[in-house]
Amino acid sequence: QNQGDKIKVGFSQAMTTDDWRKQMNSSIKIEASLRPEVDLTIKDANNNANKQIEDIERFISNKVDVIIVSPIQSKPLTAVVEKSIKAGIPVLVVDRKIEGENYTAYLGADNIEIGRIGARYIISHSKGSGKIIEITGAAGSSPAYERALGFNQVINENKRFTIVKTIQGDWEKESVKAPLKAILQQNSDIEYIFAHNDRMALSAWETAKTLGLENKIKFIGVDALNSVNGGIELVKSGVLDGTILYPTGGNEALKLALKIYNKESVSKNNILNTIVIDDNNAEIIENQMDKVDQQQLVIESQQGAIKVQEKEYASQNNLVRLLSFF
């Protein structure tokens, strides 16, 4: 098969500094490697919206067949997605959203529901003050907005609970430390901290620890990665009380992109499942995730072996051709 015959899929990834995005990339790559007809290109925007716009412009001018994008922020990426749609290139938006409805389809977990699940978890487990701190993801990114929306909605319905302070985080650990320290010094009776991801929840725990408060507060995060310092491990080691699974959907994204390419009908909104992971199920979920990881490793090593054989076959073929001259 010649490169030109392949289905060109361009994936514009927001950044790849964290393990969640690394897992997303590896699962989309595995899915692509199982489909020889697919030519997948991943561009990393380094958390810079202008770079992400340029990356997508490049996909458009290279006439890829489908674009997948995880937009860093909603507003700045909206126009370039519309431009792609106008140019006749379908766009599958994953994880974070753009503004409006001018895209082909969306894939991701329901982030409003994730916020609500976090709130319900606190309400059903609380025995103390009912005082909560919320730490949000980056401003302008849709999961931060939606997780806050769902969380505040459910907490505000309940008189015994109050969100004492909301810290505007940026998804990363550093953004939590100074503001949280100042708040905890004033409010030593905080019972729960809900952070919009596990990295910030871990940072909150570390900050509380510097004040000797880590055992008085319960921490809840989002993502539930099965990795070193991932949510599952943090629940098992007692750092987090709970984490809400936010699947990366890498493999599903590629499958959906191909359906779109093949003009099959797809839903506009494709919702990935979520679940709360705490002491009760962390072990079971970890075992399941380990099995999936092992299978992925097997697939990868088989793919590697096939490549080696293909090379050998090609060089033998060359030899046969060469010998046929004599």
Taking alpha carbons only, the member of 250, 218, 221 closest to residue 233 is: 221
The binding track of 245-264 with respect to ligand FRU, each residue x by CB under 6 A or -, is -x------------------
From the list 8, 96, 97, 165, which residue makes contact with ligand FRU (rule: CB under 6 A)? 96
> Mask of contacts with ligand FRU, 39-68, x by CB under 6 A?
------------------------------
Nearer to ligand FRU, 161 or 175 (CB): 175
Enter the tokens of residue 183.
């708040």
Instruction: Report the alpha-carbon angle 75-80-83, nearest 5.
Output: 135
Number of residues that bind ligand FRU (CB under 6 A): 13
Q: In angstroms, give the least distance from the CB of 98 to ligand FRU.
A: 13
Burial (0-12, 13-18, 19+ Cβ within 10 Å), 254 = buried
Among 135, 222, 235, 276, binds ligand FRU (CB under 6 A): 222
Neighbours of 152 (CB within 10 A): 16
Give the tokens for residue 306.
């096939």
**145 is a contact residue toward ligand FRU (CB under 6 A):** no
How far is the C-alpha of 66 from the C-alpha of 259, rounded, in Å?
Answer: 10
Position 244 contacts ligand FRU (CB under 6 A) = no
143 binds ligand FRU (CB under 6 A): yes
In angstroms, rounded to a whole number, what is the distance separating the alpha carbons of residues 141 and 53? 15
Amino acid occupying residue 121:
Y
Interface with ligand FRU (CB under 6 A), residue from 9, 10, 20, 180: 20
Name which of 60 and 81 has its Cβ closer to ligand FRU.
81
217 vs 245, which CB is nearer to ligand FRU?
245
Query: Cβ(74)–Cβ(96) under 8 Å?
Result: yes
Task: Give the shortest CB-49-to-ligand FRU separation in angstroms.
Answer: 14
Task: Supply the angle between the helices 111-125 and 142-156 in degrees, to the nearest 10.
Answer: 40
For Cα atoms 203, 204, 205, give the angle at the middle one, nearest 5 degrees: 90
Contact between 18 and ligand FRU by CB under 6 A: the answer reads yes
Site membership for ligand FRU, residue 197 (CB under 6 A): yes
Residue 157: Cβ within 10 Å count = 10
159 C-beta neighbours (distance < 10 Å), count = 7
Q: How far is the CB of 108 from ligand FRU (least distance, A)?
A: 8
User: Closer to ligand FRU at the Cβ: 132 or 195?
Assistant: 195
* Distance from C-alpha of 5 to C-alpha of 93, rounded to nearest angstrom: 25
Query: Which one of 145, 151, 161, 171 is in contact with ligand FRU (CB under 6 A)?
Result: 171
The site for ligand FRU (CB under 6 A) is made up of 18, 20-21, 95-96, 137, 141, 143, 171, 197, 222-223, 246
